[in-house]
Chains A and B, each alone.
Chain A
Amino acid sequence: DGGITQSPKYLFRKEGQNVTLSCEQNLNHDAMYWYRQDPGQGLRLIYYSQIVNDFQKGDIAEGYSVSREKKESFPLTVTSAQKNPTAFYLCASSLQERLNGYTFGSGTRLTVV
């Protein structure tokens, strides 16, 4: 079955470290997205990509970086410049958003230790 896989499910980061969250989809979707969700809060868009080798900043891109070298993959790096990275990170993908909306992964919970 097609879907989106996020890994790891739980991730711990020490102060000053960069960490990379994985997002892979086998749905043949063109567009992919990264969202951040804080406890009791809604979704905030970090980065999105409509096609391979192209991506745009969302509302809260500072302290994050992404790449889109393959259609199936859209990894997110949380850099040491992100001062408050503890959150739940969600990856999504889409094809024909007006008809189908987004398909989400199961999320990665990142905690700074």
Chain B
Amino acid sequence: GDSVTQMEGPVTLSEEAFLTINCTYTATGYPSLFWYVQYPGEGLQLLLKATKADDKGSNKGFEATYRKETTSFHLEKGSVQVSDSAVYFCALSGSGGYQKVTFGTGTKLQVIP
């Protein structure tokens, strides 16, 4: 079945550092890929998405590129802020018929001033 693997956290960075959170997936066909963000005590919010190979999703300075050849969708940001501290979930939706979204286990990011 479909699966998503994220790097273990927590990730601790200083403000203005470069962020990469790795995400790889296993799925048949051509899934859609998503990154969600969860702030403490809140629900998940869609951060960005990509629906086909080589698409780049971007939002709020975050970017991720759908790499079919490496089955990856790594999240990046050039300069993180304290307000980016949250848990980030990588997810996919399969390509065949009705498909539930499959989530990774989440990566906690802590940005220190």
Interface residues of A (CB under 8 A from B): 6, 33, 40-43, 45, 48, 50, 90, 92, 94, 97-107, 109
Bound Cα distance from A106 to B44, whole angstroms? 8
Q: Determine, out of B60-68, B72-80, B94-102, the stretch whose residues face the partner at the interface.
A: B94-102
Specify which of A42, A48, A104 is in contact with B100 (CB 8 Å cutoff).
A48
Interface residue? B34 (CB, 8 A) = yes
Interface size class of B (residues with CB under 8 A): 20 to 34
A102 vs B89: C-alpha distance when bound (angstroms): 12
Q: Which residues of B contact A40 (CB under 8 A)?
A: 108
B22-58: CB near A (< 8 Å → 1, else 0) gives 0000000001101010000111111001010000000
Measured CB to CB, the closest approach of chain A to B47, in angstroms, equals 10
Q: How far is the CA of A25 from the CA of B36 in the complex (A)?
A: 19
Complex Cα spacing A99 to B93, Å: 9
A101 near B34: Cβ-Cβ < 8 Å: yes
Question: 7 A-B contacts, Cβ less than 8 Å apart?
Answer: A6-B43, A42-B103, A99-B32, A99-B51, A104-B44, A107-B41, A109-B41
Q: How far is the CA of A54 from the CA of B79 in the complex (A)?
A: 46
B98 touches A50 (CB 8 A): yes
Q: Give A35's nearest chain B residue, CB to CB.
A: B103
In the complex, whether B81 has a CB less than 8 A from a CB of chain A is no
Question: Are the CB atoms of B100 and A98 closer together than 8 Å?
Answer: no
Chain A nearest CB: distance from B108 CB in Å?
8
Known: A99-B32, A99-B51. 4 other contacts (CB 8 A): A6-B43, A40-B108, A101-B32, A102-B46
Question: Cα distance A43–B38 when bound, in Å?
Answer: 12
Q: Is the CB of B106 within 8 A of A104?
A: no
